[in-house]
């Protein structure tokens, strides 16, 4: 089986960079990146500056792309937005997803191209959305995969737990067709064994139950039987834990934490800092504003109905400690914002913001990866949206071995058929 890849919502190429670092055998056959409501397609321009201006690189709204025109591939990857995945019945048209929700483009590609393997990334709140029907959105996604004969494993991974210099927590979804050799090989294991021992994520991200005492309390096995996706959208609810698997008519989910036996050198914020930083990144005469934004607050407010209430929020360290992994970087990193990182420069002792290069390093991108003509503000924005490249590299190593196993199994079958004939 070829290691051919289609990348959706490609951004500045984090998936491609990570898989390429895992194996030179991954071949990207199509990629799509489109920024709605923006005339300047800066992320796409960054992508093609590194990977080439090619016919296989699409800068078109994915809603308008004919899914049948996308090349066949063995792996589909992408980081897609967390949206409302409700579905509705539309008379003669059958079941239809909410217009403009990008999950349904993934679903249409899965139906049209049936890739054997899928890796997707999202914010971890996907497991709990919407607040009015906890777990519904993720349940719809699982229902779509089940309908198309996939099994699905998921894990919420904090990059800092595995040595990376940022506490960036994201959910990763690994789906695989049930007719693959990989899926057949897992049939001898129960769902709990897959999550704790033999599954996809355990290979690169070893984890264990949060404690022996709480282990059984954190586990839930759920019969996942439904007539159609409407039933899931209207009625499904489940308290998903940070790890789990769906296989056939069962969902198993449980809470895991990074294994204490996993040893790796921990990178910190200090490890990625530049020296001789330009003066414009330093704070000058703004400390009172920053102290207020970062500090704890209890503020009386009045809503539109005249009801008074107390708005409260805890404090954030000011400056950010450099001897620990950084907090999660957001798209607002360039602005004067409560969530913006402010450090005390180890060389000068003065407080400053992070530079665009330091933000690239936090996500594992090469220096000046986004320095391709976009504004500095948008460089920060792209890194706030990006994933940690090293996580994808680790997943790519495991996936490459899985695909090699598919190829070996096919060769063995061919040899057996030749021997029989």
- Look at residue 174 and give its three-state secondary structure: strand
Residue in 266, 130, 234, 246 with CA at minimum distance from that of residue 199: 246
Asked if residue 334 lies in contact with residue 316, where contact means CB atoms within 8 angstroms, the answer is no
Give counts: helices (H), strands (E), the chain.
13, 18
CA distances to 31, 44, 68, 165, 375 from 71, rounded to whole Å, are 10, 20, 8, 36, 33
Tell me the C-alpha distance between 74 and 104, whole Å: 19
Q: Would you state the torsion angle of the CA atoms of residues 200, 170, 135, 115, taken in this order, to the nearest 10 degrees?
A: -50
DSSP letters spanning 330-352: -TTTTSS-TTS-EEE-TTT--EE
DSSP letters spanning 74-133: SEEEEE-------EEE-GGG-EEEPTT-THHHHHHHHHHH--SEEEEEEEGGGGG--TTS
CA distances to 28, 32, 113, 231 from 62, rounded to whole Å, are 17, 7, 15, 27
Residue the block writes with tokens 């090293």: 390
N- to C-terminal Cα distance for the chain?
24
Cβ atoms within 10 Å, residue 355: 19
Catalytic residue among 46, 82, 144, 257: 82
Q: Is 359 assigned a catalytic role?
A: no
Q: Residue 249: enclosing H or E segment and its boundaries? A: none
Residue the block writes with tokens 């503020």: 299
Residues annotated catalytic, as ranges: 82
């Amino acid at each position: 089986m070829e290691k051919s890849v289609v990348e959706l919502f490609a951004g500045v190429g984090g998936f491609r960079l990570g898989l390429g670092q895992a194996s030179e055998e991954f071949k990207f056959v199509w990629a799509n990146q489109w920024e709605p409501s923006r005339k300047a397609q800066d992320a796409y321009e960054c992508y093609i500056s590194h990977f080439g201006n090619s016919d296989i690189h699409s800068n078109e709204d994915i809603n308008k792309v004919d899914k049948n025109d996308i090349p066949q591939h063995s792996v589909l990857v992408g980081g897609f937005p967390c949206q409302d995945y409700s579905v509705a019945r539309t008379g003669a048209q059958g079941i239809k997803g909410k217009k403009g929700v990008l999950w349904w483009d993934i679903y249409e590609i899965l139906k049209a191209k049936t890739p054997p393997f899928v890796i997707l990334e999202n914010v971890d709140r996907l497991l709990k959305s919407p607040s009015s029907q906890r777990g519904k959105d993720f349940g719809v996604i699982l229902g779509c995969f089940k309908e198309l004969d996939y099994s699905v494993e998921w894990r919420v991974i904090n990059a800092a737990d595995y040595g990376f210099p940022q506490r960036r927590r994201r959910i990763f979804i690994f789906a695989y067709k049930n007719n693959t050799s990989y899926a057949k090989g897992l049939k001898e294991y129960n769902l709990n064994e897959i999550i704790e021992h033999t599954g996809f994520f355990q290979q690169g991200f070893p984890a264990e139950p949060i404690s022996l005492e709480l282990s059984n309390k954190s586990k839930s096995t759920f019969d996942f039987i439904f007539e159609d996706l409407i039933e899931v959208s209207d009625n499904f609810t489940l308290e998903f834990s940070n790890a789990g698997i769906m296989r056939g008519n069962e969902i198993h989910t449980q809470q895991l934490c990074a294994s204490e036996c996993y040893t790796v050198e921990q990178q910190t914020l200090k490890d990625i800092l530049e020296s001789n930083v330009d003066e414009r990144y330093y704070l000058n005469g703004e400390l009172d504003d920053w102290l207020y934004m970062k500090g704890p607050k209890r503020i009386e407010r009045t809503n539109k109905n005249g009801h008074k209430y107390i708005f409260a929020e805890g404090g954030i360290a000011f400056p950010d400690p450099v001897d620990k992994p950084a907090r999660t970087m957001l798209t607002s990193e360039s602005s004067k914002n409560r969530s913006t990182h402010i450090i005390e420069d180890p060389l000068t002792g003065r407080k400053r913001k992070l530079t665009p290069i330091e933000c690239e390093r936090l996500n594992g991108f090469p220096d000046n990866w986004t320095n391709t003509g976009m504004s500095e503000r948008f460089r920060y924005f792209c890194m706030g949206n990006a994933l940690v490249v090293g996580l994808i590299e680790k997943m790519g190593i495991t996936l490459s071995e899985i695909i090699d196993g598919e190829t070996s199994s096919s060769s063995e079958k061919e040899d057996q058929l030749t021997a029989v004939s």
